Structure 1
Amino acid sequence: MNLSLPRTPQGVYRLSVSTFYFLQGLVFASWACRIPDIKSALGMNDADLGSVLFAVPVGQMSAMALSGYLVGRFGSRKILMASSVFYPAVLVCLGLVSSFWELAGGLFLFGVAANLTNISVNTQGVGVERLYQCSIMARFHGLWSLAGFFGALLGAFMVDWNVSTKTHFLAIFLICMAILAVFSRFLLPRDARRSSSQSGGMFRSMDAYVLLIGLIAFGSMVSEGTMFDWSGVYFESVVQPGPGLVQTGYVAFMSTMALGRFTADRMVMRFGAVRVLRASGILIAAGLLVAVLFPVLWSATLGFLLVGLGTSSIVPLCYSMAGKSKKMI
């Protein structure tokens, strides 16, 4: 088997950046698929879980300006390498928590690490997309979703084998360190230069176009977050599919999300970005309605499949559009 890197510089960079999207998705999915187990281990009810899960977006939002500043100051390569250690290390800490407040603090740091990784890896992705001069961002995010699908299946096996969250998360950390050791040397060495009007400091102003892209991405991320954080709990508490099927909804969501992202670039080139975004919104709404109105195994799974397909293209498309925009001032 030939495991050599692609011969072209673009191919080398693309392969390397792809592995870091996979790393990011694997870490997040490993946490998401064990939420019901951590909830049970800490004796939390749904209200407690909802409160503590809020620490993740708080951490992400708190690190937003800092992430942009650090990437601009030190470059996405250095920040991605550092955050690729920090992110799975925090995951390991989540497997060691023994109280509500320890979990809340760990999830806040998890959100910070997720944002640092997200901003730096997408900066690398935009840079590689510019080298190819065509739309490939959705396929990068497809690797994230594929990792999520793989992470969910691995998590289901870990639960079935009665592997503790601590051991599970430590295994994920070791996988991530192997990825970092092999592929970090092949990341883009520098980011695209910005004009002086785009340099600024930690904060920059933006026009209505970029703001609209951000709002669309935010709406999709809310839907994704709902699936990540509550799909297992929803199936366990409401659908009640029986032993071994609690992760069905999450796996269904991640499978169509991955499938949609590997085909989204083609859809955008054929139908245009606006039509793809509109169709995606309709699929998300339809999927959520089906899953909530008909909370049985087959219909809830169908609903989660639709939500996964709907959310698949929105965030990568928004990143790509923002990366190509000249309207940041």
Structure 2
Amino acid sequence: MTATDVRVAPPKAARVATWMYFGLNGFAIGMWVVHIPSIEHTTGITHSTLGLLLLVLGAAAFTGMQVAGPLVDKIGQRRLVPAAGIVLGISLAGPGLATNWWTLGLALILVGFGNGAIDVGMNAQAVVVERGYPRPIMAAFHAMWSIGGAIAAVVGAATLRADVPTELTLALAGVLCIVLSLIASRFLLEATIEEEDSPEGERTKPPAKLVWALGGLAFGLMLSEGVANDWAALHFRDILGTTVSTAAFAYGAFAVAMTVGRFLTDRVAAAVGPAAIVRWGAAMAAVGLTVVIVVPWVPVALVGWAVFGLGLAGGVPQLFTAAGNLDPRSSGALMARVVGLGYVGLLAGPALIGGLAHWMPLNIAFILPVVLCVLTFFGGPILKSKDPVARSEEPAVRSAK
């Protein structure tokens, strides 16, 4: 079998366009997160109701991923990715207009669905763009998601301080996402597959066990990431006894280290391969979080959270690339499974740690993600069975006029 990627834009333009989609996705979700307190106040809901609505958002995102995956393979990325970006942009105004729990719930269903759809679509597009390069570039795309979230935090803080109405801020942010989606759409690549069937006329599909194994690794790594997102600051406040302002540095150290790590990962992956990134990154993360568990001193714990973030930085992008390259004919559907399982882990992590924290100190509950990172270290070699960075010296690509 031979595969030919038909380019509809120069590779560098497609790369920048894909950066834009990752950035706008991070920005959109970041704007929602920043405004959660004000939306909670406006709608008059309790913390427990908000928790249930966040589960609704997560379920809608997972549904969006499973719907978008097969659609990517059926209608193509140049149609699905911009459409998902437009849906996400339109949906962003919804939470700001909500007046009670059920209107907020309806708004979050649309936000979640759009977020899930664009998540699968832009990752599938990133795989296609990466095939035209002689080295890995996937991790940098994920770093742009973090940059988008950081921009949202700054913009959101500024608008809240200036008393700009939440509904206006989110509506304008949504318009920006729609405009960027439309601008970037013309530079996306599309992949077409030319197949040479086997003598028996059968199509070789990737082993289901391999797909689920990649999804399992993504689940473990993204569960660990979710733990840091929701519990790093609380660890500093409740276990180490710091002030709220100091506690914020715990998550900050993790987030900055992860973002920097993602910008560095691609170069390292080109030299050592994806399996090594996943394995030794997971080992580094396990060491970093172990330091957090056992060391009671704030400066050392900060280093531990940073090492944890640096270790987790590169693993998930390698797993997504591997899934997207298992079978280019069904890249979207395969990525939907792996991305979906990873997203389930991201949602489940904070909840699992919260449940364990009822029975044991919070830092002891962190043993769960440590164990998952260790298991990822031993499971990492499965990427060698389908090396996503292996490329021919003369890739079969051509430009479409």
Distance 1:167 1:253 in 2: 32
On the 8 A contact 1:252/1:305 being kept in 2, the answer is: yes
AA paired with 1:278? Answer: R
On the 8 A contact 1:76/1:124 being kept in 2, the answer is: yes
On the 8 A contact 2:233/2:248 being kept in 1, the answer is: no
Which residue of the partner structure matches residue 166 of structure 2?
165
Distance 1:50 1:29 in 2: 17
Distance 2:116 2:163 in 1: 31
On the 8 A contact 1:95/1:169 being kept in 2, the answer is: yes
Which residue of the partner structure matches residue 4 of structure 1?
none
Which residue of the partner structure matches residue 193 of structure 2?
193
Shift of 1:183: 2.2
1:325 to 1:73, Cα distance in 2 relative to 1, 3 A: closer
AA paired with 1:325? Answer: L
Which residue of the partner structure matches residue 200 of structure 1?
none
1:1-329 alignment, distance < 5 Å = 9-188=10-189, 190-193=190-193, 195=195, 206-227=207-228, 230=230, 234=234, 241-242=243-244, 251-285=252-286, 304-326=305-327
Distance 1:138 1:235 in 2: 28
Shift of 1:58: 0.9
1:216 to 1:271, Cα distance in 2 relative to 1, 3 A: same
AA paired with 2:82? Answer: M
On the 8 A contact 1:283/1:307 being kept in 2, the answer is: yes
SS in 2 for 1:191: strand
AA paired with 2:311? Answer: G
Distance 2:14 2:114 in 1: 23
Distance 2:260 2:298 in 1: 21
Distance 1:291 1:46 in 2: 28
SS in 2 for 1:193: strand
Shift of 1:85: 0.9
Distance 2:270 2:89 in 1: 35
Deviations 1:282-324 (A, max 9, x none): 4545555666788998677656544432332122111111222
1:294 to 1:51, Cα distance in 2 relative to 1, 3 A: farther
AA paired with 1:270? Answer: A
Distance 1:240 1:168 in 2: 33
Shift of 1:43: 4.7
1:43 to 1:254, Cα distance in 2 relative to 1, 3 A: farther
AA paired with 1:259? Answer: V
Instruction: Name the Cα RMSD after superposition.
Output: 3.5
Q: Which moved more, 1:248-257 or 1:126-135?
A: 248-257
On the 8 A contact 2:20/2:184 being kept in 1, the answer is: yes
Distance 2:290 2:163 in 1: 34
AA paired with 2:163? Answer: N
Deviations 1:55-87 (A, max 9, x none): 122112223331112112211111111111111
Shift of 1:265: 1.2
Deviations 1:239-267 (A, max 9, x none): 78457x88655554432222111111122
Shift of 1:143: 1.3
State TM-score, norm by structure 2: 0.67
Distance 1:299 1:84 in 2: 41
SS in 2 for 1:134: coil
On the 8 A contact 1:33/1:155 being kept in 2, the answer is: yes
AA paired with 2:193? Answer: R
State TM-score, norm by structure 1: 0.79
1:57 to 1:158, Cα distance in 2 relative to 1, 3 A: same
On the 8 A contact 2:95/2:107 being kept in 1, the answer is: yes
Shift of 1:99: 2.1
| 5+ long unaligned stretches in structure 1 | 1-7, 198-203
AA paired with 1:114? Answer: N
1:302 to 1:24, Cα distance in 2 relative to 1, 3 A: same
SS in 2 for 1:187: coil
Shift of 1:223: 3.5
Distance 2:178 2:76 in 1: 21
Shift of 1:221: 2.8
On the 8 A contact 1:36/1:232 being kept in 2, the answer is: no
Query: Based on CA coordinates, which of the two structures has the bigger radius of gyration?
Result: 2
1:248 to 1:158, Cα distance in 2 relative to 1, 3 A: farther
Identity of aligned residues (%): 28
On the 8 A contact 1:152/1:251 being kept in 2, the answer is: no
The aligned length equals 313
| 5+ long unaligned stretches in structure 2 | 1-8, 198-204, 335-401
On the 8 A contact 1:19/1:183 being kept in 2, the answer is: yes
Shift of 1:44: 4.6
AA paired with 2:191? Answer: D
On the 8 A contact 1:283/1:306 being kept in 2, the answer is: yes
Q: Which moved more, 1:314-323 or 1:289-298?
A: 289-298
1:149 to 1:125, Cα distance in 2 relative to 1, 3 A: same
AA paired with 2:256? Answer: S
Shift of 1:113: 0.8
On the 8 A contact 2:288/2:305 being kept in 1, the answer is: yes
